[in-house]
Amino acid sequence: MADYRKNIEEVEEEFATNIQSGLTETEVNERLKNNGKNKFDEPPKESLVKKFLVSFSDFTTLVLIVAAIISLYTAIATDHGDYFEAFLIIAIVIINAVLAIVQEGNAEKALAALEDMNKQTAKVIRDERTIDVDAEDLVVGDILVLESGAMIAADARIAEGSQLRVEESALTGESEPVEKDPDFIPEDEAPLGDRLNMIFKGSTIVNGRGKAIITAVGMQTEMGKIAGLLNDDHNQKTPLQKRLNQLGKRISLIALAAAAFVFFIGYLQGEPLLEMFITAISLAVAAVPETLAVIVTLTLAYGVQKMAKKNAIIRKLPAVETLGSANVICSDKTGTLTQNKMRVRRVWTHGDSVVDTEEGMTDEAMEVLSVAALCSDVLVENDDNELVIKGNPTEAAIVRAVEENYHTKAELEEKHPRVGEIPFDSERKMMTTIHKWGKKYLSITKGAFDVLLPKFHYGDVDQAAIVNDRFGKKALRVIAVGYHLHDEMPTEITSEALEKNLTLMGLIGMIDPPRPESKGAIKRAKKAGIKTVMITGDHVVTAGAIAKELGIMKSRKEAISGAELQKMSDDELDGRVKDLSVYARVTPEDKIRIVQSWQRSGAVVAMTGDGVNDAPALKASDVGCAMGIAGTDVAKSAADMILTDDNFATIVDAVARGRSVYQGIRKAINFLLSCNISEIFIVLIAMLLGWGAPFTAVQLLFVNVVADGLPGFALGREPAEAGIMDEPPIPRNESIFARGLWQKIGLNALMFTVVALAAFYIGAFVPSISYFVQPSFEVAQTCAFLVLAFSSILHVFNVRSSRSIFRVNLSTNKSLAQMAWLAIGITAAIAIIPQTQELFSLVSISFNHWIIVVLLSFVPIIINEIIKFHKAPEVDPEEI
Ligand code: ATP
């Protein structure tokens, strides 16, 4: 019989487990050994051959392959027997494909490592303790602890549950959460959606708490049975990558058109057709930016790795780009802007009796704290005599105050066991538990004072309102505690039945100090044109006090409460959104309105979130940031980025890194395209002047792959430039060529063209340079080739910074200098070693020619230096 038709004892027996104590570590290990891990069989990896074929289907590579075929044809047709060119083009295509596959493999590995850092965990009871384990290590018989926001990692039979509602649309397609009931046992077989006593892998707990016995893991789960259909697409390309691929294609097309043009001119000039063919090939080869796509991927992957080191894990690659454009950060307060070290500071019970808990404790204050501690779900552990309290920070503060005053939560619970509850949620901002109280039953309600206010019928409520305000102004979070004594166990455990007619017991004021780094990060964001908005469940006075301290707001007018927000229409909100900096007492639903209003004003919004109800706002925002520590699985899976330290400052760092990645890609484009475009010009002009083709296809491929490729790969590791956070955000749809990039590329392409043609001219027509080496076409080609290669290698030092090369510390990117030297060495070597000279159609040139080559190669970088001369600020690159 299926597990959902058995009662709980039968399920316990079947899986040899116990709901209270769980399995032992030995039993778990044994089951892991016998049944394997709780994961799906991996889909087969894309084979190397397939990857190779895919890289060949790239448009730019196809151009090269066609060029190789034409080259082969001309070799056969002219009978000159020179198959080397065709061979080399193919070799370089292959090397390029290998490089691309290796580099992309590295980038993929880096991204996969991030996925590992972000593994799903699950809370289970083992050896009588509640612990977090890697979800892959779950076994059948494990006791899952269910709590709101958790993503379920295996199929399980619910053993205990209170108000459990589960969203299982991934399996059933039904988006409405289903109410679960541990006591429900269907008489007949039931479809998945009707198994109300079961929970399934891949669904999420929207509300409530409970325990469940795992009945199936891995491929045996219902999700496992359909796993083959669910392979995620991990190969997301960012919008910029897509645009750049488009650009690569366009440039290749321009090159083809230029090739056809050259062919036509040559034909008119009466040049032999086959030779024209060869020139056309070299032109097509010249313009293809072979390494651009790989360099962009590398830059992105490097940025993502750097972010991970600084506690920001990117889940969706496009977020890296969006981060650079973010101009509003909507942040939670508790734990993100503050330290998440909530501590009780004040307790009020009646009249003027405010107790400063740092100075001493009274019996009355202790009573309020103890009752509030009973109405809490945190877990108390004593690790090496150090008190560790896990769970909701507000409750942790209360329970800590109790435990530090020589009482324990365990002892209180033993005396007054809990018999019913209505769990906390941020929407209601309160919770209730029912306890045995001698022969009677006490229901305890604790929550935000202003929300509970109408429910108090007894107690000093007016005075409490004054105290609440006073506490708030001191940036204290206020929790009100009330109770109701029942003669009998209440039959209806609902908010309507229990959360009314309460007696006010007291107020607890607690503080969560701001993180020391928050203030600086907010200032840094402001300088970078980014507005910080605080969104909090806390009271408007408390929130305002902290916001002022942090520099988020200046006047009270910038803060509104959720209630005021709800009264506003969307139009009214749009009119005020730019002036509001603090939203207090908001519900997660309000967050969506705030995001959308900002977006309507054209802003790019980053938004933090941790709870289940935050998921829609995280999705709606441009960069959803989930909390790594306090965040629920649901929030994490809806987010673009995860903050492993829950820290606001991490978002600002990630923005800086996002900008730096964008800057890096612009540098790569400047570096590569200047050279590619100059190659088209050089060939075209030389042909029009009737000088013949200045380069062979092989020479051009060498320049593109070695002289440009090697330093280009290192360019991705360039640190961000100083002042990257002194500029406004990058406008969302700004062209990557904006802000003068086209002009820079054009100018450099022009300079390369002039120096390479000058070198060609000198090599071809100026006899007085050397006594030993007479001008010739081959000497001219060699000189032009060397000048083009050297000047484009040197160009990497120019593009790496907008400041003078003398002001940039070479050691900030050692691999760049190493790669540049390597490229220079290889280029010089092939021009000197006789065997390679022949392969690359080069000849020996005189010492004087070498001097001229070197001088000409330095001309572009000198001119660039003159242009940069006045601009550069005297600062080191910003370490981000
Ligand atoms: P922020 O929104 O700034 O990150 P938060 O996430 O702690 O703060 P919520 O959890 O939504 O905010 O809490 C909102 C309000 O509910 C708090 O100001 C507090 O008054 C009350 N509250 C928080 N936790 C509890 C709890 N465990 N029991 C009762 N009331 C609580």
What pLDDT digit, counting tens, does each position of 616-636 carry?
899 999 999 999 888 888 888
Q: Is 111 in the pocket of ligand 1 (CB under 6 A)?
A: no
CATH number at 3-36+139-216: 2.70.150.10
Closest atom of ligand 1 to 333 CA is: 3
pLDDT tens-digit series, residues 587-600:
878 999 999 999 99
Q: Is 803 in the pocket of ligand 1 (CB under 6 A)?
A: no
Do 411 and 352 touch, CB atoms closer than 8 A?
no
- pLDDT-derived band at 820 (thresholds 50, 70, 90) equals very high
Task: Determine whether 677 is exposed, middle or buried from the number of CB atoms within 10 Å of its CB (0-12, 13-18, 19+).
Answer: buried
* Ligand 1: nearest atom to the Cα of 338: 3
235-249, 729-743, 859-873: which has the highest mean pLDDT? 729-743
pLDDT at 798: 92
Q: How far is the CA of 537 from the centre of ligand 1 (A)?
A: 6
Query: What mean pLDDT is predicted for residues 509-514?
Result: 93
Residue 879: pLDDT band (50, 70, 90) is very low
Q: Please say if the pLDDT value at position 279 is more than 80.
A: no
pLDDT attached to residue 110 = 66
Question: Could you give the count of Cα atoms lying within 13 Å of 344 in the half-sphere of its Cβ?
Answer: 33
pLDDT at site 368? 95
Could you identify the atom of ligand 1 that is nearest to the CA of residue 446? 29
Kindly provide the b/e burial profile for residues 527-552, where b requires at least 16 CB atoms within 10 angstroms of the residue's own CB.
Answer: ebebbbbbbbbbbbbbbbbbbbebeb
Is the distance from the beta carbon of residue 671 to the nearest atom of ligand 1 less than 6 Å?
A: no
Confidence category of residue 674, pLDDT binned at 50, 70, 90: very high
**pLDDT, tens only, 638-658:** 899 999 999 999 999 999 999
Q: Is the CB of 625 under 6 A from ligand 1?
A: no
Give the global pTM: 0.81
Q: Give the CATH architecture of domain 314-339+516-646.
A: 3-Layer(aba) Sandwich (3.40)
* Distant-in-sequence, close-in-space partners of 694: CB < 8 Å, separation ≥ 6: 682, 683, 686, 756, 757, 760, 780, 781, 784
Contact 156, 198 (CB under 8 A): yes
Q: CA–CA separation, 373 vs 115, rounded Å?
A: 38
CA dist 12 and 18 (Å) reads 6
- Residue 175 predicted with pLDDT over 80: no
- Does the structure show a pLDDT above 80 at 871? no
What pLDDT is stored for residue 28 in this prediction?
93
Based on the residue annotation, tell me whether 332 is a catalytic residue of this protein: yes
Single-letter code of the amino acid located at 864:
N
Q: Which residue has the higher pLDDT, 705 or 672?
A: 672
Bridge pairing between strands 343-348 and 354-356? antiparallel
Q: Report how far apart, in Å, the C-alpha atoms of 816 and of each of 96, 290, 582, 800, 872 are.
A: 19, 19, 46, 9, 21
Find all residues with CB under 8 Å of 644, minimum gap 6, and list them.
117, 311, 312, 313, 628, 629, 650
Per-residue pLDDT tens over the stretch 181-202 = 888 888 888 888 888 999 999 8
Residue 234 confidence (pLDDT) = 47
* Dist. CA 435–CA 444, nearest whole Å: 8
Q: What is the mean pLDDT of the chain?
A: 87
**Which residues of the chain are in CATH 2.70.150.10 domains?**
3-36+139-216
C-alpha–C-alpha distance, residues 795 and 621, integer Å: 39
Q: What is the mean pLDDT of residues 201-206?
A: 87
Confidence (pLDDT) at 740:
87
Answer whether residue 487 shows pLDDT above 60: yes
- H helix or E strand, kind and range, residue 481: strand 477-486
Residues 849-866 have pLDDT tens digits of 999 999 999 999 999 999
Q: End-to-end distance of the chain based on CA atoms, in angstroms?
A: 59
| Token pair 């029912």 in the structure block, residue | 434
Q: Does any ligand 1 atom lie closer than 6 A to the CB of residue 785?
A: no
Please give the pLDDT value at position 568. Answer: 95
The pLDDT confidence band at residue 255, using thresholds 50, 70 and 90, is: confident
- Write the CB contacts of 558 (distance below 8 Å, at least 6 apart in sequence): 547, 579, 580, 581, 582
How does pLDDT run across 411-470, given as a tens digit for each residue? 999 999 999 999 888 888 999 999 999 999 999 999 999 999 999 999 999 999 999 999
Out of 142, 155, 332, 538, the active site residue is: 332
User: Is residue 876 a contact partner of residue 806, using CB atoms and an 8 Å limit?
Assistant: no
The pLDDT of residue 232: 46
Contact 476, 427 (CB under 8 A): no
Q: How many angstroms is it from 510 CA to the middle of ligand 1?
A: 12
Q: Is 382 exposed, middle or buried (0-12, 13-18, 19+ CB in 10 A)?
A: exposed
**What's the CA gap between 603 and 615, in Å, rounded?**
20
Quick one: average pLDDT of 708-725? 85
Q: 126, 108, 120: which is closest to 31 by C-alpha?
A: 126
Q: For ligand 1, pick from 394, 431, 627 the residue to mutate: most ligand atoms within 8 Å of CB.
A: 394
Q: Is the pLDDT of residue 497 over 80?
A: yes
Note the pLDDT of residue 228.
52
Instruction: Summarize the chain as % helix, strand, coil (round to 5).
Output: 55, 15, 30
Query: 235: pLDDT confidence band, cut at 50, 70 and 90?
Result: low
Q: What is the DSSP letter of 612?
A: G
Model confidence over 261-278: pLDDT tens digits? 878 877 887 777 777 776
The answer for residues whose C-beta is within 8 angstroms of residue 524's C-beta and 6 or more apart is 652, 725
Q: How far is the CA of 542 from the centre of ligand 1 (A)?
A: 12
Distance 692 CA to ligand 1 centre (A): 78
745 in contact with ligand 1, CB cutoff 6 A: no
Domain with CATH 3.40.1110.10 in the chain: 343-511
Q: Residue 43 has what pLDDT? A: 64
How far is it, in rounded angstroms, from Cα 126 to Cα 754? 75
pLDDT tens, 13-30?
999 999 999 999 999 999
Delimiting residues of CATH 3.40.50.1000 domain(s) in the chain: 314-339+516-646
**pLDDT above 50 for 230:** no
User: What is the homologous superfamily of the domain 343-511 according to CATH?
Assistant: Calcium-transporting ATPase, cytoplasmic domain N (3.40.1110.10)
Which CATH class name applies to 48-107+236-311+654-868?
Answer: mainly alpha
The b/e string for 690-724 (b: 16+ C-beta within 10 A; e otherwise) is ebbbbbbbbbbbbbbbbbbbbbbbbbbbbbbbbeb
CA-based torsion, 290, 294, 300, 303: positive or negative: negative
Q: Which helix (H) or strand (E) holds 624?
A: strand 623-627
Please write the tens of the pLDDT for every residue from 299-358: 888 888 889 899 999 888 888 889 999 999 999 998 899 998 899 999 999 888 899 988
- Report CA(707)–ligand 1 centroid distance (Å): 59
Residue with CA nearest ligand 1 atom 19: 448
| pLDDT classification of 880: cutoffs 50, 70, 90 | very low
481 phi-psi bin (left φ>0, alpha ψ -120 to 50, beta other): beta
Residue 233 has a pLDDT of 43
Where is mean pLDDT largest: 96-105, 144-153, 248-257? 144-153
CB 376 within 8 A of CB 392: yes
Domain limits, CATH 1.20.1110.10, in the chain: 48-107+236-311+654-868
- Torsion from C-alpha of 49, 53, 55, 60, nearest 10 degrees: 150
Q: Taking the C-alpha atoms of 609, 610, 616 and 621 in order, what is their torsion angle to the nearest 10 degrees? A: 20
pLDDT at position 81? 60
Q: What is the DSSP string of 728-765?
A: PPPPTT--TTTTTHHHHHHHHHHHHHHHHHHHHHHHHH
How close is the Cα of 430 to the center of ligand 1, in Å? Answer: 8
- Residue 294's CB is within 10 A of a number of other CB atoms, namely 23
For residue 449 and ligand 1, the question of a CB distance below 6 A is answered with no
Burial code of 801-837, b = ≥16 C-beta within 10 A, e = fewer? Answer: bbbeeeebeeeebebbeebbebbbebbeebbeeeeeb
Protein residue with least CA distance to atom 10, ligand 1: 426
